Amino acid sequence: MASIQFSKPAQSLQASVIVDLMNQALAQPDVLSLAAGFTDNSILPRSLVRQMSTALTQVGLPNEPLQYGQNQGRLGLRELSCRQLQQFPNESPQAFIAEQLFLSNGSQQALYLAMQTLCDPGSIVLVQDPTYFVFLELLQGLGIHAEAMPCDVCGQIDFEALTLRLQAMAETGQLACIRAVYLVSYYANPSSHSMDLAEKKQLARTLQSAGVQVPIIEDAAYRDLYFEQAHAAPSIFSLSEWAAFPKLYLGTYTKPFATGLKVGFAHCSSPEWLQKMLITKGHHDFGSAHFNQALVESMLLAGAYASHLQTARQQYAAKAARLSDTLEAGGLKELGWDWQAPEGGLILWLRAPANMDLRMQSPFCARCIEEGVLYVPGDLCFAHSTPWNCARLAFGALSIEALSEAAERFCRVAHTFAP
């Protein structure tokens, strides 16, 4: 067969590390995965989906759910999503408006559209250090460079170091290539850090002082999945420090409601940017599956989301606690490992002693696969691929019992590698 001339970005595409990891795992039958960010099968909203599907397949409904919908998404769900967002603590009245919001195939698609409309190959996007590793892969696929905003070990931005880095970028001319800033601001994947009010405000001031008034993308995928109470800091849409910045807020029903439905959304402060993302979305798919939007909309209308979330929060809180407790009981802290107990989300972020190597190709990682436990090597979450001593553990999918077992396996390996 004739050889194919691929596009420039496609020539250097690399397969996702998660795919490699999964393939390795498949060779090993009883492996327990703390790697993939799946959610808990036991709390998927089966009866809600059944009930809503039955209602939505009646004859003669307005805005027929099994027909195409609008490219921007169902107005009803866009309005209800804004109402949901307004209920979070400390949001300004009217921070979220249905006209500025569009529905997407999970929030991931909206993130992709944001990058397509803002960045060319060679553009720079500022990210937290660590950041969501799939976003780093997405950037690489588009030929966009990620530049780290220095953070402390807990994932909080180090503003002195950031200022110095921005100054250095100004000197090399790189500053002008920054097209966007990407923040994971609630129970971040992977650090599980939430940005508080002071950090959010300080970031706006630091960027503005440096002359970096580019679009800000706030990825709040896990915001609904708090354990005890909603994080107090409002979104960047409600903070006057961010008023002059173009803003995009990403939310989703995928993680908190049903991963199999893939309904996410994005709220944009700039009509021009929104329009460009919508046109590009039209080229991708003319709008996400309308039936799925209608399912989520009718679930919200029925007032069923709060109690679903209550169940989910309890479950994930219990899982986070079990994972953390088992790692602690396994003596990991005595070996010099450290972590913050998550307050929400689906991720626990582990830091081994500084000299340890947990990368994919490391003896430690190989030993974990042999022992039957998978994790995401933390270096993959850093824009500059260092440090090497971190691990992302996802606790969404495994049962409580399996989490104990996985953590025990992990601790056994850690003891083997103790100095």
Q: Using the minimum distance from each CB to its own copies, give the nearer residue, 213 or 355.
A: 213
Encoded one letter per residue, x for contact with its own copies by CB under 8 A and - for no contact, window 327-366 reads ----------------------------------------
Task: Count the site residues for its own copies by CB under 8 A.
Answer: 84
Contact between 53 and its own copies by CB under 8 A: the answer reads yes
In the complex, what is the shortest distance from the CB of residue 177 to its own copies, in angstroms, rounded to a whole number?
A: 10
In the complex, what is the shortest distance from the CB of residue 353 to its own copies, in angstroms, rounded to a whole number?
A: 33
Q: Which two tokens stand for residue 269?
A: 């402060």
Q: Which of 1, 29, 172, 401 binds its own copies (CB under 8 A)?
A: 1
Q: Which two tokens stand for residue 417?
A: 């590698």
Q: Which of 191, 235, 238, 288 binds its own copies (CB under 8 A)?
A: 288
Q: Which two tokens stand for residue 257?
A: 């409601």
In the complex, what is the shortest distance from the CB of residue 202 to its own copies, in angstroms, rounded to a whole number?
A: 19
DSSP class per residue in 236-303? GGG-GGGTTS-EEEEEESTTTT-TTT-EEEEEES-HHHHHHHHHHHHHHTSSS-HHHHHHHHHHHHTT
Binding to its own copies in span 202-241, by CB under 8 A: 213-215
- At 350 the three-state DSSP class reads strand
For the chain, the 3-state helix, strand and coil shares in percent, each to the nearest 5, are 45, 15, 45
Contact between 302 and its own copies by CB under 8 A: the answer reads no
Residue whose pair of structure tokens reads 């009646």 in the numeric block: 58
Q: Which of 163, 202, 227, 291 binds its own copies (CB under 8 A)?
A: 291
Q: Which of 75, 134, 170, 210 binds its own copies (CB under 8 A)?
A: 134
Q: Using the minimum distance from each CB to its own copies, give the nearer residue, 43 or 153.
A: 43
- At 38 the three-state DSSP class reads coil
* Cβ neighbours around 154 below 10 Å, total: 13
Q: Which of 28, 57, 209, 311 binds its own copies (CB under 8 A)?
A: 57
CB-CB contact of 102 with 75 (8 Å)? no
Binding to its own copies in span 67-96, by CB under 8 A: 67-69, 71
Residue among 232, 222, 195, 231 nearest 345 (CA): 222
> Rounded distance, CA 165 to CA 170, Å?
9
Residue whose pair of structure tokens reads 């994790």 in the numeric block: 375
Q: Which of 26, 27, 30, 58 binds its own copies (CB under 8 A)?
A: 58
Rounded to a whole number of angstroms, the distance between the first and last alpha carbons of the chain is: 54
Specify the stretch interacting with its own copies by CB under 8 A; choose among 118-126, 198-206, 305-313, 326-334: 118-126
Q: Which of 112, 226, 349, 375 binds its own copies (CB under 8 A)?
A: 112
- At 147 the three-state DSSP class reads strand
Q: Which of 54, 87, 240, 361 binds its own copies (CB under 8 A)?
A: 54
Contact between 108 and its own copies by CB under 8 A: the answer reads yes
Residue whose pair of structure tokens reads 């908190």 in the numeric block: 256
Q: Using the minimum distance from each CB to its own copies, give the nearer residue, 283 or 361.
A: 283
CB-CB contact of 343 with 227 (8 Å)? yes
* Cβ neighbours around 116 below 10 Å, total: 17
Encoded one letter per residue, x for contact with its own copies by CB under 8 A and - for no contact, window 14-33 reads xxx--x--------------
Q: Using the minimum distance from each CB to its own copies, give the nearer residue, 163 or 208.
A: 208
Q: Using the minimum distance from each CB to its own copies, give the nearer residue, 116 or 340.
A: 116
